[in-house]
């Protein structure tokens, strides 16, 4: 399969937003290099290489200090690129891996030592084949004693069918990208209310308030350099940040895998933060306290 998506922004702008000291980009990826870490044969898309060095340079440009690197489906259950990045991060990156039910205890322990603190279950139909729930439940039981959590990715219309599975999980559960709401629907309509209820009723469920560039219906900025893009996502993200300030995370999603419409300027994405978390106190929770609690608990205040 040839690369089938756009390369990431070659020259992201420096954001106007000043992140608080210790800020964590809690959702980003590394891919390849393909020659060393081949992509999974069962993948649904092929990204271009996105190296740890490029990720760490972006971190510095944006004024962040740490990364949470998340395994994406294009690498399947082969976490070597992720582990390599963690091991070369000087302790400044932790990870979310993807594991199979038959993963050995030794492999889990090695991942933990490298900085993995969670596993990801993907329910987005365009990205993965169906994985039986009982297998995922078994994986959750395996990783719970390590203190890991489960990251879940799904689309809003699938939440009713996943509700019972998510709410029975024995760990913290982090939902990617606000549960992918359809932002053309009202923020107080039944679909998003269901998501708010999920977090409201289950104190172990968290949400990433990331990826306005994926969720926006109004689309990319009309002009290069325009800093007013993706505003239709703001009410959704802001509602979750304000209702659950202790259970939200933010990430760039660099290098924006499988995004077909456009490639966002990561500086512009960072400038989105004060719109969804206006008060400095909210920003500190979103970018520092919450990710530290989940990924570096031994250092968290
Ligand atoms: C993201 C979003 C996407 C891809 C993946 O694991 C993945 O391949 O998560 C997507 O296509 O929406 O968070 O990277």
What are the pLDDT digits (tens) for 172-210? 999 999 999 999 999 999 999 999 999 999 999 999 999
Strand partners, 70: 96
The whole-number average pLDDT for the span 88-102 is 97
Question: What does the pLDDT read at residue 130?
Answer: 80
Question: What does the pLDDT read at residue 257?
Answer: 95
For residue 298, count CB atoms less than 10 angstroms from its CB and return exposed for 0-12, middle for 13-18, buried for 19 or more.
exposed
In the predicted structure, residue 228 carries a pLDDT above the cut 80: no
Question: What does the pLDDT read at residue 223?
Answer: 66
Atom in ligand 1 nearest the alpha carbon of residue 257? 14
Pocket of ligand 1 (CB under 6 A): 72-74, 122, 127, 153, 176, 214, 253, 257-258
The whole-number average pLDDT for the span 292-297 is 98
Angle in degrees, 0-180, between the axes of helices 133-143 and 159-168, rounded to the nearest 10? 30
Q: Alpha-carbon distance 256 to 213, whole Å?
A: 9
| Nearest CA owner, ligand 1 atom 7 | 72
Q: Are strands 66-70 and 24-28 parallel, antiparallel or unpaired?
A: parallel
Question: What does the pLDDT read at residue 32?
Answer: 87
Atom in ligand 1 nearest the alpha carbon of residue 45? 8
Chain mean pLDDT for the chain = 95
The whole-number average pLDDT for the span 87-106 is 97
Peptide bond into 33 cis (omega under 30): yes
Angle at 149 between CA 148 and CA 154, to 5 degrees: 150
- The residues near 130 (Cβ < 8 Å, ≥ 6 apart) are none
Question: What does the pLDDT read at residue 131?
Answer: 86
Atom in ligand 1 nearest the alpha carbon of residue 180? 12
So where are the chain's domains? 24-295
Nearest-10 Cα torsion for 52, 248, 287, 126: 20
Q: Alpha-carbon distance 115 to 93, whole Å?
A: 7
Take residue 202 and report the two structure tokens written for it. Answer: 């289950």
The whole-number average pLDDT for the span 72-79 is 97
What would you measure as the largest C-alpha separation in the chain, in angstroms? 51
**Domain 24-295 classification at class level:** alpha beta
Q: Are 235 and 215 in contact (CB under 8 A)?
A: no
Take residue 134 and report the two structure tokens written for it. Answer: 């009982």
In angstroms, what is the span from residue 153 Cα to ligand 1's centroid?
8
DSSP string over 247-266: SEE----TT-TT--S----H
In angstroms, what is the span from residue 199 Cα to ligand 1's centroid?
22
For residue 27, count CB atoms less than 10 angstroms from its CB and return exposed for 0-12, middle for 13-18, buried for 19 or more.
buried
Q: Are 294 and 248 in contact (CB under 8 A)?
A: no
Which are the catalytic amino acids?
253
In angstroms, what is the span from residue 278 Cα to ligand 1's centroid?
27
């Amino acid at each position: 399969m040839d690369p089938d998506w756009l390369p990431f922004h070659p020259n992201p702008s420096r954001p106007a937003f000043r992140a608080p000291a210790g800020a964590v980009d809690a959702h980003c990826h590394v891919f390849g290099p393909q020659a060393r870490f081949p992509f999974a044969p069962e993948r649904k898309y092929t990204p271009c290489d996105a190296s740890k060095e490029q990720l760490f340079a972006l971190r510095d440009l944006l004024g962040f200090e740490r990364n949470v690197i998340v395994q994406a489906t294009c690498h399947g259950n082969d976490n070597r690129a992720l582990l390599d990045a963690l091991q070369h991060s000087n302790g400044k990156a932790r990870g979310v891996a993807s594991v199979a039910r038959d993963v050995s205890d030794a492999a889990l322990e090695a991942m933990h030592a490298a900085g993995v603190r969670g596993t990801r279950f993907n329910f987005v139909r365009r990205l993965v084949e169906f994985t039986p729930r009982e297998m995922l439940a078994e994986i959750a039981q395996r990783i719970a004693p390590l203190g890991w959590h489960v990251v879940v990715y799904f689309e809003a219309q699938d939440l009713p069918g996943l509700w019972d599975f998510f709410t029975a999980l024995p760990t913290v559960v982090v939902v990617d990208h606000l549960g992918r709401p359809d932002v053309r629907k009202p923020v107080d309509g039944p679909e998003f209310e269901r998501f708010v209820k999920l977090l409201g009723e289950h104190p172990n469920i968290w949400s990433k308030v990331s990826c306005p560039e994926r969720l926006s219906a109004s689309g990319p900025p009309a002009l290069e350099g325009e800093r007013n893009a993706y505003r239709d996502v703001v009410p959704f993200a802001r509602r979750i940040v304000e209702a659950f300030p202790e259970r939200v995370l933010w990430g760039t999603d660099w290098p924006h895998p499988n995004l077909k419409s456009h490639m966002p300027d990561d500086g512009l994405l960072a400038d989105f933060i004060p719109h969804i978390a206006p008060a400095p106190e909210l920003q500190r929770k979103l970018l520092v306290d919450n990710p530290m609690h989940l990924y570096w608990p031994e250092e968290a205040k």
